[in-house]
Amino acid sequence: MATLLNVKNNVLKGRKHYLTSDYKTRNESRSTHNGMDLIGQNGVDDIVAIASGTVSYTGYDASGGGYWISITTNGIEHRYFHLQKGSIKVQKGDKVNKGEIIARMGATGNATGNCLHFAIYKNSYVDPKPYLMNENPFGESSDDAYTTFVRDLQEAIGANPDGIAGPETLSKTPTISTSTGWNHLAVRPLQVYLQSLGYDLGSKGVDGQFGKDMKACIKKYQSDIGLASKYQDGIVTARMYTWRHLLKLN
């Protein structure tokens, strides 16, 4: 029977994680299991990176894991197995952001059905549950998240990508709303940064599109930072102060 987990860090885009097989248990014929098998609310789901990091491996393991990906964050590998053939969206050396879609779960390798086999490797395999359940298990710094956000935003808007916000960066920020710039390249780094601050992006997660869930997220952010009620409109502009706060230039 599948068990719904209350996770703090997602590996499934749909944000519902049903455990079908736990770490170090499997069934009567297999007593060891080096990870956790997960399915989504409706079964098959897209896989997202649990943390920002660098892709250290993509490939195929005929002996068990099928198509799989390894991403390294602060020396810790998070590994994703049984991926659907042809669904892998990253390659070795790529930088990925937390919440970014990297593949889709499948049944490749030694799998009894569609699922994600999620594992953590630190010199050897360890229980992955704390990495799903605990705050910031990879030791990611909020300062690092801010610098990454600024640099990725600068690249998206054509500013000097030095990771330091200033007048040039602010001057090039676009207006983003559900009707203006909704798919601008700046949306994705904005989503990743807000997620790192603990904001709920809704069911779509980091998708690079500014929809109604992102509007609600921005309105919550605008309220939290104390903007006047007339500026709590879910629209990201420099003139109305939201970009200034995001870039810490207020």
pLDDT tens figures, 123-151: 899 999 999 998 788 877 666 788 889 98
What local confidence, expressed as pLDDT, does residue 162 receive?
Answer: 85
Residue, of 238 and 161, whose pLDDT is higher: 161
SS3 59: strand
Mean pLDDT of 16-45: 82
- How many angstroms separate the CA atoms of 249 and 170, rounded? 8
Domains of the chain, by residue range, sit at 3-133, 142-246
Q: Which CATH number fits domain 3-133: 2.70.70.10, 3.90.550.10, 3.40.50.10490, 1.25.40.20?
A: 2.70.70.10
CATH 3.40.50 matches 142-246: no
What local confidence, expressed as pLDDT, does residue 26 receive?
Answer: 56
- How many angstroms separate the CA atoms of 175 and 180, rounded? 7
What local confidence, expressed as pLDDT, does residue 77 receive?
Answer: 96
In this structure, are residues 39 and 18 in contact, taking their beta carbons and an 8 Å threshold? yes
Per-residue CA distances from 155 to 55, 92, 177 (Å): 20, 21, 20
Mean pLDDT of 31-46: 88
Planar angle of CA 111, 112, 117, nearest 5 degrees:
45
pLDDT above 70: percentage of residues in the chain? 95
- How many angstroms separate the CA atoms of 134 and 7, rounded? 8
pLDDT reading at 28 higher than 70: no
In this structure, are residues 148 and 65 in contact, taking their beta carbons and an 8 Å threshold? no
pLDDT reading at 169 higher than 70: yes
